[in-house]
Amino acid sequence: MTNPLSFPDTTRTGTTDQSNSSDIVLYFYPGTRAVRPRWLLEELGVPYNLVLLNLREGDHKRKPYLAINSAAKVPALTDGEITLTESLAICMYLADRFQEKGFAPAWGTTDRAYYYKWMAYSIGTLEPAILEKMSRRKIENKGGKYIAMSQATTEFNVAAGVLEKALENSQFVLGDKFTAADVMVGSLMNWANGLHLIEAHQNILEWLHRVTARPAYLRATKD
């Protein structure tokens, strides 16, 4: 097992190829953005090593992990010489690293262009829109007045409306095929669903139900 920094809770996982050794190590805590790369790793069916950091006990703020991510955030992923942070970057890397598994459209295709758009949309548009809703609720619950940065962000319902339309005649974000874009956008919409933000978006609800019923998602969120 690869555990260069002797983290205590390292488990060998991945659904197939269990006999092959893996250099991939995912630093993880349940219920966080680290679910995104774990979900994709499970979809890919490649072996990986999971290091469970206890955020409540501050494992991510201690020296061994700070050497991997000095920002003290999860997820992080190492793969041989590569140390990568940022859930989006990790998912894009993994989908390309295992290109033959078909979770990212081929380079130079039209689908690839739309794939870039949805990957960026997840983090660049949906995530700030959801975080804005969360902040607003927090402030207003305390009797404060929320001042929206309306020209710098897209309002959640507008942002979700774009996805709702894209899913009108599509099983998945990019059409008939599940890709890493469903993982990224799916993870964000799961947050939104937890905040009861998508009840008026029937296409999103149906798609979310579909993608979160996948065995890979269930494995990635089992603990």
Nearest to 195 by CA among 130, 150, 121, 126: 130
Instruction: Catalog residues that contact ligand GSH under the rule CB under 6 A.
Output: 32-33, 55, 60, 72-75, 86-87
Measured CA to CA in angstroms, residue 8 lies from 5, 52, 66 at distances of 9, 8, 15
CB 119, min distance to ligand GSH, A: 12
Smallest distance from ligand GSH to CB 140, Å: 23
Nearer to ligand GSH by Cβ, of 55 and 205: the residue is 55
Residues listed for the chain: 223
Q: What is the maximum span of the chain, computed from C-alpha positions, in angstroms?
A: 57
Distance CA 191, CA 132 (A): 12
Which residue number, 73 or 201, has a Cβ lying nearer to ligand GSH? 73
- How many angstroms separate the CA atoms of 77 and 58, rounded? 18
Taking the complex as a whole, the smallest distance from the CB of residue 145 to ligand GSH amounts, in Å, to 26
Q: How far is the CB of 71 from ligand GSH (least distance, A)?
A: 8
For residue 34, the minimal CB distance to ligand GSH (Å) is 7
**38 CB contacts (<8 Å, ≥6 apart)?**
26, 28, 50, 75, 220
- CB nearer to ligand GSH: pick between 86 and 132: 86
Nearer to ligand GSH, 51 or 74 (CB): 74
Complex with ligand GSH: residue 74 or 189, whichever CB lies closer: 74
Encoding tokens for residue 108? 């130079």
Alpha helices for 77-220 (secondary structure H): 87-97, 110-121, 127-141, 156-166, 180-194, 202-212, 215-220
Of 177, 48, 165, 169, nearest in space to 104 by CA: 177
Burial class (CB in 10 A: 0-12, 13-18, 19+), 42: buried
Residue 32 or 190: the one with the smaller Cβ distance to ligand GSH is 32
Q: How far is the CB of 90 from ligand GSH (least distance, A)?
A: 7
